[in-house]
Amino acid sequence: MTTPASDASVDPSPVAGTGAWIVLPTYDEAENLPGIAAAILASLPDATLLVVDDASPDGTGALADGLAAEDPRVRVRHRAGKQGLGRAYLDGFRVALDGGAGIVVQMDADWSHDPAILPRLLEPITGDRADLVIGSRYTRGGRVEDWGVGRRLISRGGSLFARLVLGLRPHDLTGGFKAWRATTLEAIPFEGVHAGGYVFQIEMTHRASRAGARVAEVPITFRDRQVGQSKMSRRIIVEALLVVVRLRADELLGRDRKRRPDRKSG
């Protein structure tokens, strides 16, 4: 079986009785997808699971189509190729919003994010205490397993760097396990958002915070993938650091322009 080579439309009509959509980007996750999909729907039986596949060579997209044929709660968005995690999420977010989602969740397909935590991740939004909830490795009660010292330093250091440079309060700015109130997500301009993994997570939280969103953190245990290859690279890390600096510089320049009086010629 082969994955379609171009974007395929997804019926955006909401499944009756659902409010949460889980956006699950995939690229070569055939070994993980059946199990993680079942676990997600067991944890949130009324949710809609949207698999966003970037033309995985291992047939993940075709496998997702099979799951959708068996369960109406599963939808599939086929994309033309690997275009970056951020682009996959933004595409999935738009499908979920068009489908009438009340809450949009983003998570990884490699079991690093525990589906059993999903009800706890949604609770601050359903309880009207937050507009964005981050599954946090670095708040009190959160932790990381299976990582070496170098990977821990890169992740923690990236979050700390972004917190200090951008003046953000959340402790985990590089994690990708998040729940969004749909109206909050819809109010964020998607244009110009960077596609990389780390930088996408930082920039979306930054945009939400600057728009006045209430951001909460729920502690999670993060486990490294057991099957498949990590998508992390040195390029992604460097891109994240540079974009954080650029975001802060743009803010400072914008404020300076607002303070500077117009100069009239003559």
Which among 32, 115, 105, 28 is positioned nearest to 67, based on CA atoms? 32
Q: Which residue has the higher pLDDT, 149 or 261?
A: 149
Residue 74 lies in a domain: yes
Give me the pLDDT at residue 60, please. Answer: 98
Query: What is the rounded radius of gyration, in angstroms, for the C-alpha atoms of the chain?
Result: 19
Residue 262 lies in a domain: no
Residue 244: which pLDDT band, with cuts at 50, 70 and 90? confident
pTM of the model: 0.84
Give me the pLDDT at residue 15, please. Answer: 40
Give me the pLDDT at residue 18, please. Answer: 42
Give me the pLDDT at residue 149, please. Answer: 78
**Nearest 10 degrees: CA dihedral of 44, 128, 193, 205?**
-100
Confidence check: pLDDT of 92 > 90:
yes
Residue 229: which pLDDT band, with cuts at 50, 70 and 90? low
DSSP-derived letter for residue 255 is H
DSSP-derived letter for residue 117 is G
Give me the pLDDT at residue 228, please. Answer: 52
Residue 8 lies in a domain: no
Q: Which residue has the higher pLDDT, 16 or 249?
A: 249
Render pLDDT for 119-145 as a digit per residue (tens, 0 to 9).
Answer: 999 999 999 999 999 999 999 999 998
Share of the chain above pLDDT 70, in %: 82
Mean pLDDT, the chain, whole residue set: 86
Mean pLDDT of 51-63: 97
Confidence check: pLDDT of 111 > 90:
yes
Residue 12 lies in a domain: no
Confidence check: pLDDT of 257 > 80:
no
Mean pLDDT of 86-92: 95
Render pLDDT for 181-220 as a digit per residue (tens, 0 to 9).
Answer: 999 999 999 988 876 667 899 999 999 999 999 999 999 9
Structural domain containing residue 237? 20-257
Alpha helices in 71-196 (DSSP H): 85-98, 118-126, 149-166, 182-186
How would you class 34 by CB atoms within 10 Å of its CB: exposed for 0-12, middle for 13-18, buried for 19 or more? middle
Give me the pLDDT at residue 122, please. Answer: 98
Confidence check: pLDDT of 235 > 90:
no
Residue 263 lies in a domain: no
- Measured CA to CA, the distance from residue 35 to residue 213 in angstroms comes to 33
Asked whether 33 and 40 are in contact (CB, 8 A), the reply is: no
Residue 135 lies in a domain: yes
Q: Which residue has the higher pLDDT, 245 or 239?
A: 245
Render pLDDT for 2-39 as a digit per residue (tens, 0 to 9).
Answer: 333 334 445 444 443 349 999 999 999 999 999 999 99
Residue 200 lies in a domain: yes
Residue 149 lies in a domain: yes
Which among 43, 179, 170, 177 is positioned nearest to 109, based on CA atoms? 177
Number of domains making up the chain: 1
Give me the pLDDT at residue 13, please. Answer: 45
Q: Which residue has the higher pLDDT, 231 or 70?
A: 70
Which CATH number do you get for residue 190? 3.90.550.10
